[in-house]
Structure 1
Amino acid sequence: MGQCDSQTLPPSRCWAAQTFASTFLRSLFFPRCGEFLVDLETFPDEILFLIFSFVPEQDLILGCRLVSRRWKRLVDSPFPWRIRCEREHRKEIVFLAELCPDFSWQRVCIKTPFSRNLLRNPCGKEKLNHWSFRHGGDEWCVNEERLGTEDGEAQTCFVPSSSYWNSKKSQLIDLVGEGLWEHVLDVHQPAICIADWFIGGRDCDYEVTAELLAADMKTIMKKFSGGPNNFSHSLYNHYHQVYYEFQNYGPGVRYVNFTHGGGGWKHWETPRILNSSVKVKCENLKPCR
């Protein structure tokens, strides 16, 4: 079975393959009389790899993979997934695949664990969903925010109630469940990046804490805490970011426990928080020993 490299094909053939894949999927799931009478079994593997690389991931797994044994073998091979990454200029993924002996193209392309925010509902667009609270959520609310941050437009924000001093909310992130796997976490140890944006009144507190936990969800492998204990005048004029990267954290990390919060004596002095994020970088990775 030959390999197929999308970079060796002219743009006209890539466009033709994309159009063909789109037409094929429409006919496969929404057939109409007289449409799509091409026998794809006559196509060589290299052409099907290219066509599959344009098919959406879920359609490839839930549709194309079930057509025949041959198609299952082709979809399960790394070639259509690698062609997709090369075409989308995801060079860091291709580099990781060369470093990692048990690299799973399907897992990385479908789960996309790298460079996306692993926190859910980071700024309150889904109200208080996906967060855990010290007092059951009564100490938090979601407000509209007119001020923007450097990495996003103005949106909603989280605000702790003035009735509770030092209110906290948290999320527990399962790194393996989000698409990473033991080998890459233990050996290559990609950087785990924590970020939070906050603004507050003169008399309030704010803090963000991130803990890297072992598989038992109790053992703390690494910990970071950041944020001023008392706000100065310059901190309530615009949003400020707290940023930290975990590096060289050692083997055994499986979870990230992200917690932030604060409080104030009066409602207009409590901190406002938005654009929280936990991201895993796929660059400057350690090689296999």
Structure 2
Amino acid sequence: MAAEWRQKCDQLWQLGANGVPLPDSVDWKAVYEKKPLERNLLKNPAPHGVSHSTPPPEREVTGIPPSHHQPPQPTGDFTSWSTSTEVLPDDTSDIPLGVMVCYMPQFRWFSMEQRIDLKAEGLWDELLDKFQPDIAIEDWYEESQLHASIYELCVKLLGADGQTVITEHICSPTEDLENYSHNWKQVSHVFSGYGPGVRYISFSHKLKNKFMVEFFGTLVTDSSVVVKATKSAS
């Protein structure tokens, strides 16, 4: 029976043809049922309820401040994400001496992080250590003129202790504040040849929000982490 489940996995992903190790010690039934390869391992990849296949929603500016004093928090379903908010200090560098400022915009980073246990998802030691399949990362964030820096991505491949960083990818794009454009921007990366020992993936992105009379947030959607059944040529 174990051989039959291994054959099903092999047929599904063409493992043998790609040189993937198929040891007898693996629970191939569990691997087949979890289908850890070629699927998005992130849960709830669109917490704001939007998709990059349609344009980002245009916000209506009312000019009416909220009834409470604290800036509102981003809205959405953040199930499976660990979230945090960082209030940024006011930037007064461009204000001439002696000028009275009545109100300053307040910027905040809103962070969302998710951790993937690769073995719990159905991947096995020999695959991760010897074959080292490509791990493809993708994310889409809302382009805007809110600030020069409105999005940051940090993805880490971690060891068995969940702390040791084997390799990481950090992305912090700069926005064009001169020309208005309101589209989705794609961010992507492929980890390959990262070495043995990877057991966890930490996927974290930060979105900048602005509050000045009204709340303006940055949206993100269609985040994905996909372990491929292939690897890049050396």
Task: Indicate the structure with greater helix content.
Answer: 1
Contact 2:116 2:200 (C-alpha < 8 Å) held by counterparts: yes
2:56 paired with 1:113:
no
2:78 maps to 128
Q: 1:121 and 1:91, CA in 2 relative to 1: closer, same or farther beyond 3 A?
A: closer
Which secondary structure does the structure 2 equivalent of 1:274 belong to? strand
Contact 2:2 2:27 (C-alpha < 8 Å) held by counterparts: no
Once the two structures are superposed, residues 119-174 of structure 1 have per-residue CA deviations (whole angstroms, 9 ceiling, x without a partner) of 000002581110001249xxxxxxxxxxxxxxxxxxxxxxxxx9651221100100
2:217 paired with 1:279:
no
Q: Which one of the candidate residues 177, 192, 208 is aligned to 1:247?
A: 192
1:202 maps to 145
Q: 1:82 and 1:286, CA in 2 relative to 1: closer, same or farther beyond 3 A?
A: farther
1:184-263 residue pairs with structure 2 within 5 A? Answer: 184-204=127-147, 205-232=150-177, 236-263=181-208
State the 1:85 CA deviation.
Answer: 5.9
Q: 1:96 and 1:178, CA in 2 relative to 1: closer, same or farther beyond 3 A?
A: farther
State the 1:95 CA deviation.
Answer: 3.0
Contact 2:8 2:32 (C-alpha < 8 Å) held by counterparts: no
* d(CA) in 2 for partners of 1:177, 1:283: 20
Contact 1:92 1:283 (C-alpha < 8 Å) held by counterparts: no
- My pick for the range that moved more, 124-133 or 239-248, is 124-133
User: Over aligned residue pairs, what C-alpha RMSD do you find?
Assistant: 2.9
Q: TM-score, with normalisation over the residues of structure 2?
A: 0.68
Where relative contact order (Cα < 8 A, 6+ residues apart) is larger, the structure is 2
State the 1:231 CA deviation.
Answer: 4.5
Which secondary structure does the structure 2 equivalent of 1:245 belong to? strand
Q: Which one of the candidate residues 89, 108, 111 is aligned to 1:165?
A: 108
**Superposed structure 1 runs of 4+ greater than 6 Å apart:** none
State the number of aligned residues: 184
Once the two structures are superposed, residues 9-37 of structure 1 have per-residue CA deviations (whole angstroms, 9 ceiling, x without a partner) of xxxxxxxxxxxxxxxxxxxxxxxxxxxxx
- My pick for the range that moved more, 105-114 or 189-198, is 105-114
State the 1:228 CA deviation.
Answer: 1.1
Task: Indicate the structure with greater strand content.
Answer: 2
Q: 1:198 and 1:135, CA in 2 relative to 1: closer, same or farther beyond 3 A?
A: closer
Select the structure of larger CA radius of gyration. Answer: 1
State the 1:240 CA deviation.
Answer: 1.3
* d(CA) in 2 for partners of 1:247, 1:176: 18
* d(CA) in 2 for partners of 1:96, 1:108: 17
1:77 maps to 2
Q: 1:215 and 1:221, CA in 2 relative to 1: closer, same or farther beyond 3 A?
A: same
Sequence identity (%):
30
2:60 maps to none
Contact 2:113 2:202 (C-alpha < 8 Å) held by counterparts: yes
Unaligned runs of 5+ in 1: 1-75, 137-161
Q: 1:119 and 1:98, CA in 2 relative to 1: closer, same or farther beyond 3 A?
A: closer
1:93 maps to 15
Unaligned runs of 5+ in 2: 50-75, 87-104
Q: 1:80 and 1:101, CA in 2 relative to 1: closer, same or farther beyond 3 A?
A: closer
